[in-house]
Structure 1
C-alpha cells in the first residue's frame, strides 16, 4: 500500500454531513440543501480521499454494487455477479446512461478501475478503496466486466461498492472532472462555487439505483452548502435555511432538544489511540504498552472523549460491517493501576525523585498527538490520558494540532509517541497497510507495528471467501488489542439532523434516491 494511503485513512473519518435544503415543494420538486463542513476540493473520483469529497461524489456517481442496512451486497450498476476466489464478473444493467447521454459500457467500468490502479495516476485510493493488484477487463459484447486479483482475495465483491464509476466524456478527458461530474448517478453537478456551494440537478430518467430505485420523486435540486462552523450550521437548520447536517459537537445537544428537527444517531468510527513502536520509543516494549493501557480507566475515558454520546467499541470497521461480531471485549488490557506500576518496574522503568520513571538514563517521556479539529471531547480525552500517565510515572507532553499537521507528523517527522487517531474503513482488509508492512515514511504503517499473529491471521483470511474468513478477521483485530498495538476506546456517534426533508446515508455516502422534501420544507 502506498504511503499516501495513511492520509486517506485519517481523511476518511472527517464527519460527513447530510441534509435536505430549503426551497419547499412536494416530492419530485423543490430544493434540498445539505450542509458540508469543508470544500470537497478536486472532484475526480480517483483522487477522492476526504469523506466530504466522497459525500459530494455520491450524488453523481454509481457503484457496481451497494450494501443493504444489514451489510448484505445488493445490486447497483450490476444486476448480477459471479464470484470466484480471485475474481468477480459483473453483468451490467441494460439502459444505463451517463449524465451526458452516453450509454454506460463495461469498458467505462474497466477504465475507472484501471485508471486508479495505474501507477502513473498516483491515486491515493489505490491500495485502500481499490485493492492493490486489482485489474479490470471488459466484455462489451457480453455486457460484463471482470475484476481480478493476483491471488484469492476475501472481499473482491464487497470492494466494488466503494468504487465510483466514471462514464461519458470524463473517461477520455479526466481533466473535466476537477470541477464537474461525469457519472451515471441520479444527479449531475451544474454549478461549483468553491468554499461556498455546489448545485446538482436531478436526472429524471434515472431508473437503475440500488435494487431498481429511481429518481422520480427526488427533489429537483440538491445544494451542498459549505458551512465550516457547526454552530452556524445548527442555526441554519433550526431556522429552516438548510434541511440537514451531521453534528458531533456541543450543538448536538441543542438540536436533540429542538422541536421540529428530525434526529437519527449514527455510528461515526472509533475514538482510539496508537503507540509508536519504533526501536527508540518506550512503547517498542509490549510490556510498556500494556502497562500504559492498564493505567487508564478506558470506561471513563470513553465518556470524556465522546461527551457521553458514544457506545462501547466492538471493532475497527465502520457500519454496516461485512463481519459482524465483537473483537474488543475481553481483549484489551483491563484497568489496574497497581499492575501497571509493577509492570513498569519489572520492565526497568524506575521512579525518580521527581516521580518520572527512567531507564538507562532515559526519561519515560510520551508525546501525545491529537487533532484539535476533533472537538472539545478529544482535547479533554488527551488531558485525561496525560493525567493518568503522569500518575503512572510518565512525563507527558500534549501536542494538539490541525489535521494536516497530524498527517505530516504521522508520516514525515514521526514526532510522537502516542496518537489519538480515528481510522475509518469499510472492510477489514483496508486496515492491513496501516497495521503491518513497511513502516513510515517508506510505507503506510505509521506506528511501526509488527504483530506476527495479526499478519498470520489476515494472510489466511484474505485467501478465503468473506463469510468464511470473518472469524479470522475478527481474531486479527483482537490480536492487536491483546498486544496493545492500538487501544479502542469508544465508538463515536453523531446526530444526523434534518428539517423539512429526509435522507439516508451509509458510510459517508448519500443514498441519493432516498432524498425527499417534506411538508414545510
Structure 2
C-alpha cells in the first residue's frame, strides 16, 4: 500500500453519524393528502443540497431523491445496478459501464465524462466530502477517467480499499450533473436547475418549512433491488416533505391521513398496531458515548473517560427506549460479522468507582433530540449526576448537533452519538475516531489512537475475510481499552406506513426514492 499510516491518520475524514431520514421523521402537515402527493416530515432542515457535503438526516434524504448512484446496496449487502449496468473491480480499481440513454434532470445526456467529473469532485479533499474516505480510503489519491464512446468510468486508487464498489452506494457519491458542477454555490443552496441525476426534481423550496419533489418522466435508472418484499402501488409522482420536530405530532398526522409515512423511536409507535398500518421495526441506530479529547477538556484524561463509562449502565440506557434494543460490545451491533464479542474489553458499570473521579467535575453533555426526544441523553445526564458530576445538557435538534459536535463548533465534553452503519462495515465508525479534527477532518473528538489507525489500515487493505476480522478486532480493542468510545445499545426504529404508503426497506431503512402510493 503506497499510502503511509501517518498520512492515513492525518488525512482521514468521516461520514456524519447523524440519523437517516427514516429515523428522524416526525411532525406532519395539516393539509391532508387530497392532492395525491406522498407526504412525510423530518425534524430539521437540510444543511446543504450538495450531495457530497451532506452530513445530516435531511441532507441524505434529498441526496437520495435527487442524485443517482452508480450502484446501490441491497438488504443482503449485495451490490446492485444503478446508473451503472455492470462493473469489474479489484481492491485498487473499478470500471463501470453506464446504462445507455442516461439523462440529467434538465433532459441533457448524462455522459461518462460528467460522471467522472462528479466523482473527481467528490474525491477532491478541497470539496470536504465527509463520505469520500469511506469510498476511496482516507488520504487516497484517486484517478477517475471516462470513455464516452464505451460508456465507461474507471476509478484507480494508489492503494487497496476493499469497500470501493459497495461504498459508492453512499449518498455522498451521488452523481452531480454539469450545471451543478459549474455552480457549486447554487448546488449548495438547491437553486441550480438540471443539477440532478436522480429520479426526483426539487420543484418548490421553502427553507425551514417544506419541499416538493416531482418524479422525472425520463428517469429509468432505478436501483435494481432484489429484496423479497417489494412495495405495493405506483411510484409517487409528487412527494411533499415538511419540517416538524415532535413524534407525537407525527403520530397524530399519520393517524388522520395527513402523512403517508412516519418513523418512531419512542412509544408512539404502539398506536399503529393493526388498523391498516404497516409497521417495520429495524435496529437502525447504534448509540455511543464519545469524548472531546481536545487540549483543556476533561476527556483527555483516560481516568475521566473510564469513570464516565463506569457511571453509565448500557442496559439501563436500553430500558429508556423500552428495552427493545441490543446492549452492544463494539461500535456495531451483533448483525455485523466484525462486531466485538469480548465482554472483557467493555468497562463495567461501577457507580462507586465513578464517583471517586467525577464528584464535583463539571461536564458539558451534548446530544440530539431526534431519538425519542433525547430521553437517552437525559438518562446519561442523571447517571453522571448520580456519580457527583455537575452536568449541563444541550439536548438539540440534529442540525444543531451536527454543527456543534461533528462540525467542531460546539462547547462540549461528552456527546451521546447516534450512529448509522451506511457502509455496511465498521469503517464509518472507525473513521469518526481517526484523522484530524474539523475543519480539516471529521475526527470530531480529536482522538489519537495509533492502534485503532493501524487496525483500520490493515482491515481495509485486504479482501481476505479472516484477515479483515482479525484487524477489526485489533482496532476495536485499541479503542475500547482506551475508552475512546463507550458502546451503549441499539435503538430500534419503527417505520410506519399509512393505508396509502409503501417503499423499499433496504439495510434497515427506507429508500425515499422508492415511495409508493397504493390505490
TM-score (norm 1): 0.81
Q: Distance in 2 between matches of 1:235 and 1:412?
A: 36
Q: Is the 8 A contact 2:310 2:350 kept in 1?
A: yes
Q: CA deviation at 1:274?
A: 1.9
* Secondary structure, counterpart of 1:209 in structure 2: coil
Superposed counterparts of 1:7-22, under 5 Å = 9-12=16-19, 15-17=23-25
Q: CA deviation at 1:470?
A: 3.7
- What does residue 199 of structure 1 align with? 212
User: What are the ranges of 5 or more consecutive residues in structure 1 without an aligned counterpart?
Assistant: 345-354
Q: Is the 8 A contact 1:318 1:425 kept in 2?
A: no
- What does residue 316 of structure 1 align with? 331
Q: Is the 8 A contact 2:113 2:148 kept in 1?
A: yes
Q: Distance in 1 between matches of 2:333 and 2:181?
A: 31
Q: Distance in 2 between matches of 1:491 and 1:275?
A: 19
* Among 81, 85, 90, the residue aligned to 2:91: 85
Q: Distance in 1 between matches of 2:93 and 2:12?
A: 26
Q: Does 1:97 align with 2:93?
A: no
- What does residue 447 of structure 1 align with? 445
Q: Distance in 1 between matches of 2:281 and 2:236?
A: 24
- What does residue 170 of structure 1 align with? 180
- What does residue 238 of structure 1 align with? 255
* Secondary structure, counterpart of 1:161 in structure 2: coil
Q: CA deviation at 1:161?
A: 0.8
* Secondary structure, counterpart of 1:268 in structure 2: strand
* Among 392, 416, 419, the residue aligned to 1:398: 392
Q: Does 1:115 align with 2:117?
A: no
- What does residue 404 of structure 2 align with? 408
Q: Distance in 2 between matches of 1:171 and 1:415?
A: 35
Q: Is the 8 A contact 1:186 1:202 kept in 2?
A: yes
* Among 222, 235, 238, the residue aligned to 1:209: 222
* Secondary structure, counterpart of 1:435 in structure 2: coil
Q: CA deviation at 1:192?
A: 2.1
Q: CA deviation at 1:64?
A: 0.7
Q: Is the 8 A contact 1:35 1:225 kept in 2?
A: yes
* Secondary structure, counterpart of 2:387 in structure 1: helix
Q: CA deviation at 1:202?
A: 2.2
* Among 71, 74, 90, the residue aligned to 2:77: 71
Q: Is the 8 A contact 2:330 2:340 kept in 1?
A: yes
Superposed counterparts of 1:295-310, under 5 Å = 295-304=311-320, 306-310=321-325
* Secondary structure, counterpart of 2:169 in structure 1: helix
Q: Is the 8 A contact 2:368 2:401 kept in 1?
A: no
Q: CA deviation at 1:63?
A: 0.5
* Among 267, 282, 285, the residue aligned to 1:266: 282
Superposed counterparts of 1:127-138, under 5 Å = 127=133, 131=137, 132-133=139-140, 134-138=142-146
User: What are the ranges of 5 or more consecutive residues in structure 2 without an aligned counterpart?
Assistant: 1-8
TM-score (norm 2): 0.81
* Secondary structure, counterpart of 1:421 in structure 2: strand
* Among 411, 433, 436, the residue aligned to 1:435: 433
Q: CA deviation at 1:479?
A: 3.4
Q: CA deviation at 1:491?
A: 0.8
Q: CA deviation at 1:314?
A: 5.7
- What does residue 154 of structure 2 align with? 146
Q: Does 1:248 align with 2:265?
A: yes
Q: Distance in 2 between matches of 1:315 and 1:108?
A: 40
Answer with 1 or 2: which has the greater Rg. 1
Q: Are the structure 2 counterparts of residues 23 and 461 from structure 1 closer, same or farther at C-alpha, using a change threshold of 3 Å?
A: same
Q: Is the 8 A contact 2:40 2:261 kept in 1?
A: yes
Q: Are the structure 2 counterparts of residues 54 and 296 from structure 1 closer, same or farther at C-alpha, using a change threshold of 3 Å?
A: closer
Q: Distance in 1 between matches of 2:43 and 2:248?
A: 11
Q: Distance in 1 between matches of 2:406 and 2:216?
A: 43
Q: Are the structure 2 counterparts of residues 429 and 185 from structure 1 closer, same or farther at C-alpha, using a change threshold of 3 Å?
A: same
Q: Distance in 2 between matches of 1:411 and 1:511?
A: 26
Q: Is the 8 A contact 1:55 1:508 kept in 2?
A: no
- What does residue 161 of structure 1 align with? 169
Superposed counterparts of 1:497-508, under 5 Å = 497-499=496-498, 500-506=500-506
* Secondary structure, counterpart of 1:211 in structure 2: coil
Q: Distance in 2 between matches of 1:316 and 1:63?
A: 27
Q: Distance in 2 between matches of 1:278 and 1:264?
A: 40
Q: Are the structure 2 counterparts of residues 100 and 277 from structure 1 closer, same or farther at C-alpha, using a change threshold of 3 Å?
A: closer
- What does residue 50 of structure 2 align with? 44
Q: Over aligned residue pairs, what C-alpha RMSD do you find? A: 3.7
Which digits, 9 at most, give the CA deviation of each residue in 1:75-118, with x for residues without a partner? 11112211122211111112222222222211111111112333
